[in-house]
Amino acid sequence: MSTERRVQQQPAYILHHRPFRDSSQILDIVTRDHGRIALVARGSRAAKSRLRGVLRPFLPLRVSWVSRSDLGTLTGAEASGPPVGLRGDAMFSAYYVNELLLHFLHRHDPQPEIFALYAEAVAALGAAHDVARCLRQFELELLSLLGYAVNFEHESGTHKNLDPDRHYEYRVEQGPAPVERSSGPLVFTGAMLLSVQARRFDEPEVLRAATRLLRALIAHHLGGKELKSRKVLIELHRGRIATNEEQTSDSD
């Protein structure tokens, strides 16, 4: 017989929620000590539910639940801090961060460091002016905490330190390999890779290089799965670019 398990006041964030029956929802949450779990929040969408203002993504929560099977039942939730003021692009980026966690975290696998990293990333996105920088920082830390060794310091195979003046091609799963050509999708100078390693993201070229590298790395580790939040973000930007182009061509 399966045993009942009660958890009280666990720090958590909602990653995703979907409606369930008439007035309930199913929450996909990440918790500090119990990893990612799914909970039913019964009656939480009902008109008089006290949980309606609380069960929001990106809000730091303390959550209590009881579980007998894989799907637990929420027994209580309260906000444990003020809401993060996510605006515009920062909010859509925060959804991207959620989707990365939904993909990379397995259920019931506690990862307190990743939980802390997530909390930090959400807070940073709320406060930041530079969304891209927050995202690259998060992606790099996430990949290394997940154990996908991200190496921008040593040559693959020989483990020699990178020569700042040489060109290297970054090979996923291997690392930087010296090449003679100076261009290519993932070809960088040693100096650039070392700057990424040192997270010098206040320099625009370093940030751009990190974006290229991380996009390739994440795409590889997603195993061909397309991120829905990225698709939406691309559509949003396309709308914006389209209007700007119309307006410039009008003024021509």
The contact set with another protein (CB under 8 A) reads 16, 18, 22, 50, 52-54, 56-59, 79, 82-83, 87-88, 91-92, 95-96, 98-99, 102, 228-229, 231-233, 235-236, 239-240, 243-244, 247
Residue closer to another protein, measured from CB, 15 or 213: 15
Residue closer to another protein, measured from CB, 25 or 31: 25
Minimum Å gap between C-beta 15 and another protein is 8
Residue closer to another protein, measured from CB, 54 or 196: 54
Radius of gyration of the CA atoms of the chain, in A:
21
DSSP 217: H
Minimum Å gap between C-beta 235 and another protein is 4
- Which residue is associated with the tokens 């007998």? 68
Residue closer to another protein, measured from CB, 184 or 239: 239
Contact 188, 167 (CB under 8 A): yes
Q: Which two tokens stand for residue 95?
A: 């959804």
> Up-side HSE of residue 95: CA atoms within 13 Å toward CB?
13
How many of the other CB atoms lie within 10 Å of CB of 7?
17
Contact 175, 193 (CB under 8 A): no
Residue closer to another protein, measured from CB, 107 or 228: 228
Residue closer to another protein, measured from CB, 54 or 210: 54
Minimum Å gap between C-beta 248 and another protein is 12
Contact 72, 40 (CB under 8 A): yes
Minimum Å gap between C-beta 53 and another protein is 4
d(CA 162, CA 193): 8
- Nearest C-alpha neighbor of 98 from the set 74, 122, 73: 122
Contact 91, 229 (CB under 8 A): no
Minimum Å gap between C-beta 146 and another protein is 20
Minimum Å gap between C-beta 79 and another protein is 6
Residue type (1 letter), 179: V
- Nearest C-alpha neighbor of 97 from the set 60, 124, 63, 130: 124
Contact 186, 213 (CB under 8 A): yes
Q: Could you tell me which residues are beta bridge partners of residue 79? A: 61
Minimum Å gap between C-beta 220 and another protein is 21
Residue closer to another protein, measured from CB, 29 or 196: 29
